[in-house]
Amino acid sequence: MHTTDANILATAVGPHLFWLASRAAGIAALLLSSVSVCVGLLIGGRLVKGHRQELRVTHEALSLATLAALGVHGVTLLGDAYLHPSLGDIAIPFLSGYRTLWTSMGIVAFWALLALGLSYYARTRIGVQRWRRLHRFAALAWILGIAHSLGEGTDAGQTWFLAMTALAVAPAILLALARLLDSAPVARAGNSNAIARARDSAAVTRAGVAR
């Protein structure tokens, strides 16, 4: 009886194995990338102090795991008998005829995350400050990935998937808002100091002219 059930299950799952693997990898990538964004925001913020080195190691591991999951998500689709995409369909934006816009968003998000993630290992050549400004675009790539999952994902209309996505995305949004609010006073203070220096410089210039 158990053997028969197993055979029935294998027969039912077999044709969809690659699609199921891609689907699972996509969900894993969504969760991993969301946690990675949260950790990245914690590194740059003031909420967590004294553990930034540990957070950097965690952020790096999550980023690499996200890239691996995205790779599996795309490559396993090559074996899907229903879509039967080519390598170009999963690697080049706007080439696939299946939900072209949403598919392209996912492809652009992957390449952006790959480039920005691997740029970490070349940050000394890029310049640390320049790399940090460049790395902020990872958040935009993450947003593109979320749009891709909501627009094209098989489970996008399911309540459990929407709830899971909300739970994964909400902490990152809250941390981003907290970081913006935290950096606002610093920016205002910097502007005030710049204005004060400009006034002092102008006063010195006027004094020199008066002499």
Q: List % helix, strand, coil for the chain (3-state, nearest 5).
A: 85, 0, 15
Summarize the confidence of residues 30-43 as an average pLDDT: 94
pLDDT at 65: 97
pLDDT at 156: 84
- Torsion from C-alpha of 190, 191, 196, 202, nearest 10 degrees: 130
Quote the CA–CA distance of 9 and 123 in Å, as a whole number: 49
pLDDT at 108: 97
How is the chain split into domains, by residue range?
2-210
50 pLDDT tier (thresholds 50, 70, 90): confident
pLDDT at 200: 56
pLDDT at 47: 73
Summarize the confidence of residues 75-97 as an average pLDDT: 93
> Quick check: 32 pLDDT over 60?
yes
> Smallest Cα–Cα separation from 19: which of 93, 68, 63, 78?
78
Q: What are 191's two structure tokens?
A: 């502007």
Looking at 41-159, which runs of residues are DSSP E strands? none
> Quick check: 4 pLDDT over 70?
no
> Quick check: 61 pLDDT over 50?
yes
Condensed to tens digits (0 to 9), the pLDDT of residues 117-154 reads 999 999 999 999 999 999 989 999 999 999 999 998 77
Condensed to tens digits (0 to 9), the pLDDT of residues 161-199 reads 999 999 999 999 999 898 888 775 544 444 445 454 555
8 pLDDT tier (thresholds 50, 70, 90): very low
Query: Average per-residue pLDDT in the chain?
Result: 84
Encode burial over 128-165: b for 16+ CB neighbours within 10 A, e otherwise. eeebeeebeebeebbebbbebbbebbebeeeeebeebb
- Residue 84, sorted as left (phi over 0), alpha (psi -120 to 50) or beta, turns out to be left
Summarize the confidence of residues 51-64 as an average pLDDT: 93
Summarize the confidence of residues 109-115 as an average pLDDT: 97
pTM of the model: 0.79
Quote the CA–CA distance of 25 and 75 in Å, as a whole number: 10
Amino acid at 206: R
Contacts 24+ apart (CB under 8 A), 58-63: 60/120, 62/32, 62/33, 62/35, 62/36, 63/36, 63/113, 63/117, 63/120
pLDDT at 130: 93
Quote the CA–CA distance of 141 and 43 in Å, as a whole number: 19
44 pLDDT tier (thresholds 50, 70, 90): confident
Is 147 or 209 the better-scoring residue by pLDDT?
A: 147
Which of 41-50, 77-86, 101-110 has the least mean pLDDT? 41-50
Q: What are 21's two structure tokens?
A: 């693997």
